[in-house]
Each structure stands twice: as structure tokens, then as C-alpha cells.
Amino acid sequence: MPSKSNLEALRKEVRAITNEIMRLVGLRLSLTERIDKVKRSMGLPIVDYRVERDLKSSVIDTCKRYNVDERFGMRILNLLIEEAVRVQKSSMDESERTISVMEMFTLAKRMEEEGKKVIHLEVGEPDFGPPEKVKRVACDSISKGFAKYTEPSGLSNLRKSIAEYVNERYKIDVSSEQIAITSGGRFSIYASIMSNLSLGSEAIVIQPAWPAYIDCIEAISGRAIVLKTKLEDGWRPDLESLSNLVNDFTEMIVINYPNNPTGKVLESRDMKALVDLAKDRGITILSDEVYSEYSFKPSHSILEFDDVKSICASSFSKSYGMTGFRVGYAISDVNSIRKISRIQALASTSVPEFIQYAAMEALKCKDDVKRYANSVRRRIGLVCKELSKMGLSYYAPDGTFYVFPKIGEDDGFNAGKFALDLLKEKNVGVAPGTTFGDYPDFVRISACQSERSLLEGLERIGEFLE
Amino acid sequence: MPSKSNLEALRKEVRAITNEIMRLVGLRLSLTERIDKVKRSMGLPIVDYRVERDLKSSVIDTCKRYNVDERFGMRILNLLIEEAVRVQKSSMDESERTISVMEMFTLAKRMEEEGKKVIHLEVGEPDFGPPEKVKRVACDSISKGFAKYTEPSGLSNLRKSIAEYVNERYKIDVSSEQIAITSGGRFSIYASIMSNLSLGSEAIVIQPAWPAYIDCIEAISGRAIVLKTKLEDGWRPDLESLSNLVNDFTEMIVINYPNNPTGKVLESRDMKALVDLAKDRGITILSDEVYSEYSFKPSHSILEFDDVKSICASSFSKSYGMTGFRVGYAISDVNSIRKISRIQALASTSVPEFIQYAAMEALKCKDDVKRYANSVRRRIGLVCKELSKMGLSYYAPDGTFYVFPKIGEDDGFNAGKFALDLLKEKNVGVAPGTTFGDYPDFVRISACQSERSLLEGLERIGEFLE
């Protein structure tokens, strides 16, 4: 019998239960603090994924029993875990913060404003700029007034042109509805992660890696699970270890080949094994392919594998020297693309119209792309030769415009401090290895400058290392 | 005594408590479902903010008692409330979805691709485009190769120019560190909401309102609390009602004057009262001032009030006819700006460099801005005259380029259906009132077309209404 008093009684009950939940939350937190103390005294790490996962499985069972939506149960649990980790971490010593590439770049720019001549080996921005034709089309489009809002997913002609380009390149068959134009490859990554992960889902990131992946995952309170690779293994990801990291809560694996910062391209059989793993476990692969035109040996696109759930993120920044144009794209199934476009609409409506016309023109500039790639390849060769002369070990890149040498040999080496000191004392910017994961012995050198600048920069690094 | 077995015992306890929490969560959900049924049979709405708030207060007490971080307690509680609402809503009939301005615009564009001539009264995009000088600087900058990454917060010279512009205009003293350049005013709104609200915090939105505010609030699972205004009150927000909506969980009030869609400018004394309220309660005001140059009577900027926590979001889109350039800015305290820039860095690195140079030039084009504003004012006058002839009631705008007439008189009127039918039958796009809140009797007419187009469009609306 519905009535006002009935309603009040039910509400009272809800309130009592809610407060009991909070009491238990408090109890739980005090217990995890005790666990933290024990762990600390035993020298164990704060986060133990195995324990977390056991807990998750047990919670899933409870959710089933009491008819709680499992994804919702996971969100609650992950909030609880996150808070416990936050409380535990806040009681630690503030460890030294990692300096980012953007911060190095900003510092270097400030030094230049003060009149110093800095050699930029830190930032992945080619010096050659866009092809002349691209500039011309951008200007013409501005003059003609093509500076209006477009559909959030981008001009349909640009999406069609990209579809044709990838279809021809990879012998596949994607439609323009499977493509969204985004503010750089970065927005494709951002929106892909935003729309595919929820609070507390897990995504595996193979390190060393561009920090944006983990930044984006953590921005939505997802959990980034790291698979480390090593120079000694030629930066090859161990697929058995990868498989062991996968569990029911893994939603995504992020890959990036040719790889920033190592220059690695994945072998065909590894790529296939990785795709099979993702397919078997129903995991989405987010493949960052912004360096695909800078590949010195055959490199697979995730687009070639049509039976796995995937998002290919790409960009005009690197291939066409268009970093400052901020235009990229995502390719996936129609539904995922719709979600990505919705985030683009929410955050910035659309990419500027005339920039989309410039991108359309860029797709025609195949000769320029080849020229750029050849030039970078020569530079990479040069960098490698110099690094060898210095006696440093590194992996000879299969692609990208980076080399990732090991420069620290002893345990206490700190790439962040090294990079800062090098910038201040020798006016040379490099990206510290710690930006890309737990690689305090490494720095990333970007071959985006003229050969002369590269040689000069490397010489100064040599002097500084002595 | 720390030991492995001790650790295991504690972990077991954590697991038991976690599962007990989930059991209670399930129990809570089944209770809220029962409440839902009772409510429905009594004809009561799903969401009852008063009840929610009582619950929140009681949970805060529990958090204090059991030493749970209050903000964390609120996140858990809000997840619980959100899920309960989701479950309750999912059992409702799927009500007709509101059509957005962007969807109307996309539909209209598709019709144009099919060769139809559409009169665009739906989108807030001025037909005059940017001043010639702005176009020229954009092109020159592209030619000169100013197409590189910039600091995420934007070129320091542009930030300085904006500081000078607002300091002169409002007799204030903001520094360039208080400014972030963003991908349109939209990104300023997006990043402000992202960085200031957390899951479950409340933000008050005064409707009718641009839907982006609520979209952004809901994207981070915040709770948008709506204060409705009415045509009969000249769209004036009732400050007592506003004050009643404020509670300990209110983090933000979003204001937008001159207002989209009503054209209202807030009276000085109302603005002051609103600021005082926010100040007293420690609430941040997010003030969307993208139409500030289209103000036909004095309009305050939030920047004039220096003792309240605020973010001013603005843009080059409307003032300078630069919609398709996607460049705007946020002004706030240094700390908030840092957070906003961090989100810009995460999502898209920076606004294209040459667009930032174009924006710098735009700030010098004061005569063009005046010309644009005068032209829009004339058009608004024209629209009002025609609407009066049709016998429709509306508020004569104090600013913006919109008029928001009431076109439906009976109860069952559906502005969304009206707008779609009008587009299909008369090739005229308008934005349905439902886009801006619970206003099914209204449509927004945008005076962004030539006077001839406006007259033609209004004539067709008149025919269609008969």
C-alpha cells in the first residue's frame, strides 16, 4: 500500500544502510592502514595486483549473489582500493617528481627567450614542417572563409580520404563512418581511453611508453598495469608475462609500434600473438600508430587484423610535419567512433575547418612523406654512429625519430637530474628515461634537428658525460 | 608483530568487510527500487534533492565518527545515488530524446549536401567571419612555419595581450599566468568543470542554458542542480530559490550573461547578490562570457569581483567571427589555470600556434567587433519586430545574437518535433527550447544570417505556424 509514511519508513531504512556502509568503509580503511604498516616493515610494495585481483573475483561473486550490477560493484571496489592506496601513499616520503618532456621543452623555450641557443633533442617535432602545398591549402581555405564549425567527427570528405588512404595502404575496407577527426593523435588516445575504460578498469601499457597513455588512464581513475620491456631483450615484450597480467578486469592493451621512445617495431609473430591474446580475452587494443610512416622495416597496423576489437590512433603531426596543426584521427568500429566524436563535441566541438582541408591535401603529399622518412632515417644512422663512438649501448631503431641509449651505468643514476643539468650547462635538451617508465639510466634523443645540430648536440652530451 | 600470516589475516578481514559492503549495496539498491515503485504510484519524481541532502548530511556525520575522509564518503554516496537513479530510470518508458543544436545543424548540412537551400537559424555562428587582418596573420604565420607545439597554456604573448585587453576593459589587474588558451570557449568550460568538480559534487546551472554545462558536469558524474527561470519573470533568476539550492555539496554555480538562449543580461544588483552568495558559501562561479561583446546594455564580468573564487570562460568565436578557429581562454587564479592547462596538455597538447597568432591580431580589431555587434543588434531588432507581428511573446534581448520566443501555447507542444518538421518542410533550422532545459514551448532563433535570410526564415516560420 503506497503511502507517505511507507515512503518515509523505506527512506529511513536506506539511510541506516547507507550509514552502515560508511561505517564499514571506515573500518576497511583502518585495516588497510594496518596492512600498509605491516607491508612497510616487511619491505613489500603498496600495490599488489594479485591480492587486488583475488579481492575483485570475490566481490564479483558477492555482486552476483546479491543482484548488484558487476560493473557497478567494480566501481565501488575500485574507489575503495584507490582511496586505500592514496592514504598509504600520502604517508610516504614525497619522492622526486618525474620531469616531463613538455616541462623540459618549456624550460628550453624559456632559456631561448633569455637569448640562449638551445639544441632541442628533447621534443618529437620534425624541423621540416608541412609540405608547401599543405600550407597553401590551409591559407586558401582561411581566405575563402572555411573557418566554420564542422561535424564533431570531421568533414566527411576528409574522413573519406583517410579511408581511401588506409584501405589502399593496408588492403582493408574501412568506411568513413569508422573514422573520427580529432585534435591531434593525442585527442584520439584521450577520447579512446575515456570512452572505453571506466573507473577502476585495467589497461595494460607496455613500457617504456609515451606517458600520455598512463596519464589518460589515471585521469579517469583507471588502473594502468605496466609490462616492462628491456634493452637486453631488444625491447621485445614478453608475451607470457603479458598474458599473466591479463585478467577479467583488463579492458585494454595499449601498443605503440614503431615505438616511442625505443624505435622498436614488433615482429609479425609477436603482433599476431598479441592480437590473438586480446581476441581470446575480449580485450580492446589501442594502437598508437603515429610513427607508421617512419618505419625502416615492415610494421603492422592493427587495422590489418579485423577480428579483434581495436582502435587505431594516428595523426598528421609526425608523418607530414604538422605538429602545430593539431589534427589526427581514430579508426575503429562505428560505435566506438561515435563515442569518441561525442567526447570531441563535448570538449572542443570540432577541429578547425581549414585545418581539416590542409589535412586532406597532406594525404596527397606522398613524395614529401618519403623524403621526410628518408631524411630521418639518415639522421638516426648518424645518431647511432655517434652513440657507438661514445661507447653507449642502445637498440638500433626500426622506426620513429628516436634513439633511446643507456647513459647511466651505476645504480644511483638519475636521468631527470642529468637532463636538467645538461640543459643548464650545455644548452642541450633531451628527454629523461624516467618520463617513459622506470628507466632512470636512459635518455631519449630525438632526431628532429638538422644533421649539424644533431652532431653538435651529441658532441656536447659527450663532453658532459666525461 | 609483522609477519606473512599476520598480513594474510588482515587481508582476509578486508575481504570479508568488502563483501559485506557489497551485500549492503545490493540491499540498498533493492530498497531504492521499492521506493521508486511507491513514488511512481504516488506520481512523485525520481530525484528528490531534499531527501538526497538529508542523506548526505547524515553520511557526513558518519564519516566524521568513523574517520572517513568526507570527500571520499561523498564519492561513495554519490555513486550509490547515481546507480539507484540509473536503475530507476531504466525501468521508465524511453522518453523521446532531446535533439541537440549540433544534430539539427548536422541534419541541415546533410540536406544542403543533397542540394537543398537551408536557412540556418539554429546555429550560433556569425556569417561575417573573421576580420581580414586576422585571416592574413593566420596565413602569414602558417607560411612562416609558426606551426609548432606551444606551451599547453598558450603563447605567453597572447596571454599577455589578453591580460591587457581585460585589464583595460574592466579596470582590473590580472596577470598572464592567470590565463590559459584553450580549444574554444568550450574547452575552457570542459576543463573548468573537470578540474573543479569531483564525482558527485553539485553544480547549479541556471536554465535555460547552453547544454554543454550539464553535459560536462554529467560527464564526470557530477550532479547538475537546475534553477529554472521564466519568460514571465524576464528570465531573472530568483536569488532566494538559488540560495535554497545551495548546500554543503555545492561546488560551483554556472552563469552565462549575456545569456544563450534568452539574451538576458543580469542586473547589477542581482549579479552582486549572486557573487555575495557564492563568496559566503565558498562556491566557485564559472562565468561563461563568450557573448560579452554583444551586449546592448552594461554587462558585468565576473572578473570585476576579485574576492570570489571564479573562472571566466571566453572565446574568440563569437566576438571576432572565429568559430571555426577553435580558440578561447579561461581566466582564474594561477592554481586553477594550471589545472586547466594540464587538462589541455592531456587532451590536445596546445591550440595550433598560427591560430594563437591570429587570436593576438584579433584583439587589435576593435572596430570590427563594434561593427559586428551593431550589425547583430540591428538584426535582433528585426527579428523581434517580426516575432511581434506574429503575435509571439519573447524577451527583448539585452545581448547575444539570439531571441527565444514562445511558439507553443498548448500543453502537448513539442519544440523538438516542431524544429524537425520545420526543417524538413520549410528548410529552416531553429534550435528547440528543449535543448536548453525544460522549455518545450520555445525555440531559439539565431540572428547570424543576413537580414534577407532572417526575414525569409521568419516568414517561413510564420507560414508553418499557421
Instruction: Out of A15, A22, A79, name the one closest to residue B66 (CB).
Output: A22
Give the pLDDT score at A35: 87
Q: Tell whether domain A132-364 is in CATH 3.40.640.10.
A: yes
**From CA A373, how far away is CA A370, in angstroms rounded?**
5
Verify whether the Cβ–Cβ distance B29 to A68 is below 8 Å.
Answer: yes
Instruction: Out of B30, B139, B353, name the one closest to residue A142 (CB).
Output: B139
pLDDT at position B311 over 60: yes
Question: Which residues of chain B from 176 to 205 reach within 8 Å of chain A, CB to CB?
Answer: 183-184, 186-187, 190, 199
Average pLDDT score over residue span B59-83: 83
- A105 close to B (CB below 8 A): yes
**From CA B205, how far away is CA B286, in angstroms rounded?**
10
CB A75, CB A199: distance < 8 Å:
yes
The CATH number of B15-90 is: 1.20.59.10
Other Cβ atoms closer than 10 A to B219:
16
CB B444, CB B135: distance < 8 Å:
no
Average pLDDT score over residue span B365-374: 95
Give the pLDDT score at A96: 44
Question: Which residues of chain B from 244 to 303 reach within 8 Å of chain A, CB to CB?
Answer: none
Residue B84: which residues within 8 A CB-CB, separation 6 or more? B28, B29, B32, B33
Using pLDDT thresholds of 50, 70 and 90, give the confidence band for residue B2: low
Return the CATH fold of A101-124+367-465.
Aspartate Aminotransferase, domain 1 (3.90.1150)
**From CA B39, how far away is CA B50, in angstroms rounded?**
15
Give the pLDDT score at B388: 97
CB A182, CB A312: distance < 8 Å:
no
Each residue's pLDDT tens digit, B162-203 = 999 999 999 999 999 999 999 999 999 999 999 998 777 889
Give the pLDDT score at A93: 43
Grid cell of B230 as nine digits: 521564466
Verify whether the Cβ–Cβ distance B14 to A28 is below 8 Å.
Answer: yes
CB A365, CB A320: distance < 8 Å:
yes
* Structural domain spans, chain B: 15-90, 101-124+367-465, 132-364
Q: In chain A, what residues touch B20 (CB-CB under 8 Å)?
A: 24
Other Cβ atoms closer than 10 A to A41:
11
Average pLDDT score over residue span B267-291: 97
Distances (CA, A) of B118 to A19, A155, B45, B192, B464: 57, 18, 40, 35, 15
Give the pLDDT score at A56: 83
Report the SS3 class of residue A286. strand
Each residue's pLDDT tens digit, B445-454 = 999 999 999 9
The position carrying cell 546533410 is B110
Using pLDDT thresholds of 50, 70 and 90, give the confidence band for residue B1: low
**From CA B196, how far away is CA B339, in angstroms rounded?**
9
Q: In chain A, what residues touch B341 (CB-CB under 8 Å)?
A: none
Average pLDDT score over residue span B51-61: 83
Distances (CA, A) of B131 to A355, A375, A466, B352, B364: 18, 40, 56, 19, 10
Each residue's pLDDT tens digit, A108-151 = 888 888 888 999 999 888 888 999 999 999 999 999 999 988 88
pLDDT at position B94 over 50: no
- A83 close to B (CB below 8 A): yes
Q: Tell which wins on pLDDT, A149 or B264.
A: B264
Query: Which DSSP letter does residue B292 get?
Result: T
Amino acid at A307: D
Give the pLDDT score at A95: 43
Region of B221 (left: φ > 0; alpha: ψ -120 to 50; beta: rest) is left
- A149 close to B (CB below 8 A): yes
Verify whether the Cβ–Cβ distance A352 to B187 is below 8 Å.
Answer: no
Report the SS3 class of residue B115. coil
Give the pLDDT score at B89: 62
Among A142-151, B37-46, B216-225, B245-254, the minimum mean pLDDT is found in B37-46
Give the pLDDT score at B96: 44
Give the pLDDT score at A90: 61
The position carrying cell 605496466 is A226
CB B442, CB B415: distance < 8 Å:
yes
**From CA B418, how far away is CA A42, in angstroms rounded?**
70
- A18 close to B (CB below 8 A): yes
In tens digits, what is the pLDDT along chain A, a chain of 466 residues? 567 788 889 989 988 998 899 899 889 888 988 888 888 888 877 667 778 778 888 888 888 888 888 878 887 887 788 777 766 666 544 444 567 777 787 788 888 888 889 999 998 888 889 999 999 999 999 999 999 888 899 999 999 999 999 999 999 999 999 999 999 999 999 999 999 987 778 899 999 999 999 999 988 878 899 999 999 999 999 999 999 999 878 999 999 999 999 999 999 999 999 999 999 999 999 999 999 999 999 999 999 998 899 999 999 999 999 999 999 999 999 999 999 999 999 999 999 999 999 999 999 999 999 999 999 999 999 999 999 999 999 999 999 999 999 998 877 888 999 999 999 999 999 999 999 999 999 999 999 999 999 999 999 999 998 8
Q: In chain A, what residues touch B123 (CB-CB under 8 Å)?
A: 149
Using pLDDT thresholds of 50, 70 and 90, give the confidence band for residue B98: low
Verify whether the Cβ–Cβ distance A143 to B146 is below 8 Å.
Answer: no
Q: Is A438 exposed, middle or buried (0-12, 13-18, 19+ CB in 10 A)?
A: exposed
What is the predicted ipTM? 0.88
Average pLDDT score over residue span B41-45: 81
What is the chain A residue with the closest CA to B320?
Answer: A147
Give the pLDDT score at B173: 96
Question: Which residues of chain A from 109 to 138 reach within 8 Å of chain B, CB to CB?
Answer: 109, 123, 125, 129-130, 135, 138
Grid cell of B201 as nine digits: 559534487
- A42 close to B (CB below 8 A): yes
Question: Which residues of chain B from 318 to 357 reach within 8 Å of chain A, CB to CB?
Answer: 322-326, 345-355
Each residue's pLDDT tens digit, A89-110 = 665 444 445 677 777 877 888 8
Q: In chain B, what residues touch A63 (CB-CB under 8 Å)?
A: 22, 26
Q: In chain B, what residues touch A216 (CB-CB under 8 Å)?
A: 346
User: DSSP labels for B307-361?
Assistant: TS-EEEEEESTTTTT-GGG--EEEE--HHHHHHHHHHHHHHHSSS-HHHHHHHHH
The CATH number of A30-92 is: 1.20.59.10
Looking only at the bridges linking them, the beta strands covering A284-288 and A250-255 are: parallel
